[in-house]
């Protein structure tokens, strides 16, 4: 069997393109789960982008062991220096540097001649090699580049010390046969290609990212790049879980494998969805809620029941999509809660468990049986992450149609504060009161409310997307049996994140 390396870029290409800023704690949680999933490389971020991004990559490099930790840069020395700084604590550091090489990008975006591009690419790889032994080079927009020039660039950067060369289809423009042909061309024409690993990086604009990546792997690539749930710019990146299951399911005919732990897929998918605020479509391959429901219409009516269904090529248990996990209730002790949470992919420190257990008791008091979905909701709740802003009390008065006054009491960094505000409906009034209390200038970009869990008293699960300054977006999440409270918690969670980012980026001491 030929083993393929899995390169996860959820935290870089996935995150950046959504405009979302994940903080160090969130990145760390995803990083740890990716190690459980068994990916070989974790691209942690772009350290030169901002001080908080630098800090997040630094934390991940220091804390996450068991995978190569990669940091992203352009060809500028300053950006590469930032990567080296961020990766100091990493056991297996890798710097990912690169430049665009297609005629249109070189001319319009970079305003550089091909010779200048080669020179800069080589200098960047050499510079990165001063810090680390493992340097990956990306040839941006490689698919639309001139083949002779592509070969020239790759030979030069491998000569300069690149250990991995990444051949992106930046615009998601390729078809599987063309991409396969290009990878074969590189394998056959780059003289020193055996000294580096060839990596495929595809985008899903034509819905072919997974197909193109597999075609590239078949043609000789040794590494595949992707994101969990396929999140990313425009139509997204290659879905890593699709690659993992395609390689696993068809390993018999391809002779190609990866070493992922497939049973961690569902937990990883849920975590990324929860922290990125991007829901997984119900029909999404491998991780969608409906991915394993129903039997094809062609199922033979009289097939013996004791035979495994011929159409169920993937057992839902194989990807960790647990069936009915039963339920817990007020009589379930903290040990049972801890065990169930572990089975669902959450590992908690004792202090966190205590906090979650209190919330669990409150919840089972309100709604009786607590199902797996409720537990996922509970874990997504803002308070678990250690919030600087806690909603203590809310009271609402409505007058006429859709006018409301909200009085909100918060625990704000240890002080109890109260404020009232009017708005169009109770949620708007609550958000305005929170704005007054917290005093950050933010803009509410999106607000979603859905129910999670089963039973008559399903939980309200609120997600807000909040823009601050021109720097970016944060996601806030809140869960409660009361939808107004869930909304308030979500907004408070987002405001906490904004406060932290602003504090970190203005260079003040953070805790």
Q: Which stretch binds Zn ion (CB under 5 A): 13-21, 189-197, 446-454, 485-493?
A: 13-21
Please give the Cα distance from 493 to 476 (Å, whole number).
5
Q: 248 burial class (0-12, 13-18, 19+ CB within 10 angstroms)?
A: middle
Please provide residue 412's backbone torsions phi and psi, each rounded to the nearest 5 degrees.
Answer: -110, 105
In whole angstroms, how close is the CB of 203 to Zn ion at the nearest point?
Answer: 6
- Nearest approach in angstroms of CB 134 to Zn ion is 20
Q: Report the distance separating Cα 248 and Cα 254, nearest Å.
A: 10
Q: Smaller CB distance to Zn ion: residue 205 or 343?
A: 205
Handedness of CA 377, 378, 380, 382 (dihedral sign): positive
Q: Return the range that interacts with Zn ion (CB under 5 A); candidates 12-20, 98-106, 377-385, 442-450.
A: 12-20
Q: One symbol per residue from 260 to 289: x for binding Zn ion (CB under 5 A), - otherwise; what is it?
A: ------------------------------
Q: Name the minimum Å distance from CB 227 to Zn ion.
A: 9
Q: How far apart are CA 196 and CA 222, in angstroms?
A: 9
CA 163 to chain centre: 26
Q: How far apart are CA 386 and CA 376, in angstroms?
A: 17
Which part of the chain contacts Zn ion (CB under 5 A), choosing from 7-15, 47-55, 85-93, 94-102? Answer: 7-15
Assigned token pair, 287: 């991780």
Specify the stretch interacting with Zn ion by CB under 5 A; choose among 6-14, 290-298, 320-328, 478-486: 6-14
Taking CB under 5 A as the binding criterion, the range among 5-13, 131-139, 420-428, 484-492 that sits at the site for Zn ion is: 5-13
The count of residues interacting with Zn ion (CB under 5 A) is 1
Length of the chain: 511
Q: Which residues pair with 371 in a beta bridge?
A: 327
Whichever of 172 and 176 has its CB closer to Zn ion, that residue is 172
Span from 10-18, 45-53, 205-213, 253-261 in contact with Zn ion (CB under 5 A): 10-18
| 141 binding Zn ion? (CB under 5 A) | no
Which residue lies nearer to Zn ion by CB, 83 or 321?
Answer: 83
| Residue among 4, 10, 13, 241 that touches Zn ion (CB under 5 A) | 13
User: Would you say 272 or 488 has its CB closer to Zn ion?
Assistant: 272
Is residue 166 packed enough to be buried (19+ CB in 10 Å), middle (13-18) or exposed (0-12)? buried
Give the Å distances, CA to CA, from 472 to 20, 22, 154, 218, 284.
Answer: 6, 10, 35, 39, 27
Count of helices and strands (H, E) across the chain: 17, 18
Chain residue whose CB lies nearest Zn ion: 13
Measured from the CB atom, the residue of 143 and 357 that comes closer to Zn ion is: 143
Q: Which two tokens stand for residue 112?
A: 């550089």
Min CB(165)–Zn ion separation in Å? 15
Of the candidates 211, 149, 213, the one whose C-alpha atom is nearest the C-alpha of residue 186 is: 149
* Residue number, 118 or 209, with CB nearest to Zn ion: 209
Q: How far is the CB of 461 from Zn ion (least distance, A)?
A: 30
In this structure, what token pair is assigned to residue 197?
């690993």
Q: How far is the CB of 226 from Zn ion (least distance, A)?
A: 10
Give the residue with the Cβ less far from Zn ion, 13 or 504: 13
Q: Which is nearer to Zn ion, 13 or 242 (CB)?
A: 13
Strand 256-257 versus strand 327-328 pairing type: unpaired
Report the interface residues with Zn ion, using CB under 5 A: 13
């Amino acid at each position: 069997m030929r083993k393929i390396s899995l390169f996860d870029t959820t935290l870089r290409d996935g995150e950046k393109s959504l405009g979302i800023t994940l903080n160090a704690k969130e990145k760390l949680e995803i990083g740890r789960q990716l190690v459980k999933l068994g990916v070989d490389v974790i691209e942690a971020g772009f350290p030169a982008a901002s001080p908080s991004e630098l800090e997040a990559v630094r934390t991940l490099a220091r804390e996450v062991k068991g995978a190569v930790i990669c940091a992203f840069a352009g060809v500028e020395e300053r950006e590469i220096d930032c990567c080296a700084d961020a990766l100091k604590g990493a056991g297996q550091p890798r710097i990912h540097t690169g430049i665009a090489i297609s005629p249109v990008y070189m001319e319009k975006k970079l305003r550089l001649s091909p010779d200048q591009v080669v020179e800069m690419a080589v200098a960047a790889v050499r510079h990165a090699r001063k810090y680390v032994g493992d340097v990956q080079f990306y040839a941006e927009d490689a698919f639309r580049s001139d083949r002779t020039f592509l070969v020239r660039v790759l030979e030069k950067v491998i000569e300069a010390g690149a250990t991995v060369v990444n051949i992106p289809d930046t615009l998601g423009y390729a078809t599987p046969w063309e991409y396969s042909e290009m990878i074969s061309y590189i394998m056959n024409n780059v003289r020193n290609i055996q000294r580096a690993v060839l990596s495929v990086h595809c985008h899903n604009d034509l819905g072919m990212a997974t197909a193109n990546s597999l075609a590239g792997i078949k043609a000789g690539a040794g590494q595949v790049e992707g994101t969990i749930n396929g999140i990313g710019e425009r139509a997204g990146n290659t879905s890593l879980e699709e690659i993992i299951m395609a390689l696993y399911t068809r390993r018999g005919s391809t002779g190609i494998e990866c070493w992922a732990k497939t049973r961690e897929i569902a937990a990883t998918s849920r975590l990324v969805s929860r922290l990125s605020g991007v829901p997984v479509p119900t029909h999404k391959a491998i991780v969608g809620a409906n991915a394993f429901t129903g039997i094809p219409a062609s199922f033979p009516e009289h097939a013996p029941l004791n035979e495994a269904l011929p159409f169920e090529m993937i057992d839902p248990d194989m990807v960790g999509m647990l069936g009915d996990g039963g339920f817990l209730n007020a009589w379930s002790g903290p040990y049972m809660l801890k065990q169930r949470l572990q089975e669902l992919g959450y590992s908690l420190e004792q202090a966190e468990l205590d906090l979650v257990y209190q919330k669990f008791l409150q919840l089972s008091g309100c709604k009786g049986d607590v199902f797996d979905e409720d537990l996922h909701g509970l874990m997504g709740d803002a308070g678990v992450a250690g919030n600087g802003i806690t909603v203590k009390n809310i009271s609402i008065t409505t007058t006429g149609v859709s006018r409301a006054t909200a009085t909100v009491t918060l625990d704000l960094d240890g002080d109890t504060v109260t404020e009232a505000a009017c708005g169009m409906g109770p949620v708007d009034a609550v958000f305005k009161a929170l704005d007054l209390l917290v005093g950050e200038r933010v803009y509410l970009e999106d607000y979603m409310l859905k129910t999670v869990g089963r039973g008559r008293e399903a939980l309200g699960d609120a997600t807000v997307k909040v823009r601050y300054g021109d720097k970016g977006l944060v996601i806030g999440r809140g869960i409660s049996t009361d939808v107004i409270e869930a909304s308030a918690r979500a907004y408070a969670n987002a405001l906490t994140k904004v406060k932290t980012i602003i504090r970190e980026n203005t260079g003040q001491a953070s805790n």
